[in-house]
Chains A and B, each alone.
Chain A
Amino acid sequence: MIIDNNKKRHGVDNVQRVYAQILENVSHVGFALLIGGYFVYIFQLMPLSVPIDAIAQNWHLSAATMQQKLNTPSGWSFFGSTSLLMKGDVVSSLSIYYLATATIFCLLFAIPAYIREKNYIYTTISLFQIVVLLVAASGIIN
């Protein structure tokens, strides 16, 4: 039976411990932001870029049609405008974006740990994975 020398009790190696710790921290913050952002949005504690009623009247349309009709901010478009960043719906969207980047943070911390272990195969796999996620998050492929 092949057991990795780095694996300690319960077969958990150091990199996995690092990954789990970051995952826990990032996801706790993410869920707090998700709830906070949604309350800011639906109770309209900040002005909205698109009224909730307008979204509700058009949510039977496809995403492309709704975006065309209501000019809803998507991707990173709101980063070009400071006024958009102060909108309740954008704040709620940002909390979702944060959750979608959670695994990138985990991998960023896993790579130095893999390098310390001289595990260059998994360093490369992790690097490729970050590139894939960054390409997706950049919107280039859209």
Chain B
Amino acid sequence: MSTATSVYRKLLMGSAAAFSALFVCLFIPVISFAAEPHIAEQTAWWVWMILLFAFSFVLGIFSVLAGVGGGVLFVPIVSGFFPFHLDFIRGAGLLVALSGALSAGAPLMRKGLADLKLGLPMALVGSISSIAGALAGLAMPANIVQLLLGVAIMGIATLMMKSKSSGSIDSQEPDALSKMLGISGLYYDEVSKKDVSWQIHRTPMGLVLFMVIGFIGGMFGMGAGWANVPVFNLLMGVPLKVAVATSGLVLSINGAAAAWVYIFKGAVIPLIAVPAIGGIMLGSKIGAKLLTRVNTRSVRMIVIIMLVIAGLRSLLKGFGI
């Protein structure tokens, strides 16, 4: 019975991986061709929804394997290859990031990995600026946003290529603000089988950067894990696992604040948002199971290439080419 289950699981995982590779190689050019206005108009809406769900599913797998949030891949790549206006993609992107953070939040908090005392001050400044970012992003002409998005995606791809996260953090003297806020923690590391205690420094600089990140996240409708994690980890000295988990907590609050702006501007339509959320969340679960069996460095490289292509496409769209 257990052997049959194991074979079934292996088959399922293999199929998911093969489907993902096939999707990247074949479907992206097909979708890209179909997204041309005159062809897009002739395609039934439900075909686009199935493609969006399948595409988001693959993005969900890749995002986990590449160690980035689904939201950061969703907006640049979907805006490059689907016929929807950028407003609706950004609205859906925020909800994708929000949903992912909400679903992963509770278990990570119970394990002491996502830390409420660390996340709440960052989320407060980040949520205010994410509202401002969303308002600014929706007020700008689409070609300018597309251009800026292209620049941002290229920046993220560069950051992904160069970033080296620090898994173990040397003990740092906590700053006065973090002492006042009582930000410190303890978690059990399942790899080293040890309790790891941590404290933070450079909290004021962290707050400023979270304000900037919130603005960018709100403007482009992207999750901001790509920026939250390095700020927590490299700047403030938060252990990598706590940084990743708490980044989701911050995202669940910032994303909600910015999402309301998109909702009131009519930029959230369930027809597009729900299949995107469903696809990414299902893909993320499969991705988490594949994590130990796949060469994540290769996947990360594929994701970087996908981002560069999407970034170039976004820049070209911004220039009206």
Contact = CB atoms under 8 A, between A and B. Distances in A.
Interface residues of A, number: 70
A79 B112 CA distance: 40
Contact of B274 (A52, A92, A104, A136): A92
Contacts of A42: 46, 49, 271
Nearest to A39: B274
A129 B123 contact: yes
A10 B186 contact: yes
B199 A12 contact: no
A60 B40 contact: yes
B266 A72 contact: yes
B16 interface: no
A21 B109 CA distance: 9
B268 A96 contact: yes
A55 B45 contact: yes
A32 interface: no
A67 interface: yes
Nearest to B99: A99
Interface in B74-133: 83-85, 87-88, 91, 95, 98-99, 102-103, 105-107, 109-112, 115-117, 120-121, 123-124, 127-128, 131
A27 B105 contact: yes
Given A15-B116, A141-B131, A102 B252 contact: yes
B298 interface: no
Contact of B41 (A57, A129, A136): A57
Contacts of A24: 105-106
Interface residues of B, number: 76
B257 interface: yes
Given A17-B110, A56-B45, A110-B116, A4 B182 contact: yes
A64 B43 CA distance: 24
Nearest to A134: B260
Nearest to A136: B260
A27 B102 contact: yes
B45 A52 contact: yes
Contacts of A19: 109, 116
Contact of B88 (A16, A17, A37, A59): A59
Interface string B57-89: 000000000000000000000000001110110
B179 A23 contact: no
Interface in A91-142: 92-93, 95-97, 99-104, 110, 119, 121-122, 125-126, 128-129, 132-133, 136-137, 139, 141-142
B185 to A, nearest CB: 4
B36 to A, nearest CB: 11
Contact of A20 (B40, B109, B127): B109
A110 to B, nearest CB: 7
23 contacts: A2-B179, A4-B184, A10-B112, A10-B187, A21-B106, A27-B103, A34-B278, A42-B46, A52-B45, A63-B262, A74-B263, A75-B263, A89-B270, A92-B270, A96-B268, A100-B259, A102-B256, A103-B252, A122-B181, A136-B260, A137-B260, A141-B131, A142-B261
Interface of B: 37, 40-41, 45-46, 48-49, 83-85, 87-88, 91, 95, 98-99, 102-103, 105-107, 109-112, 115-117, 120-121, 123-124, 127-128, 131, 135, 138, 142, 171, 174, 179-182, 184-188, 197, 199, 252-253, 256-275, 277-278, 281
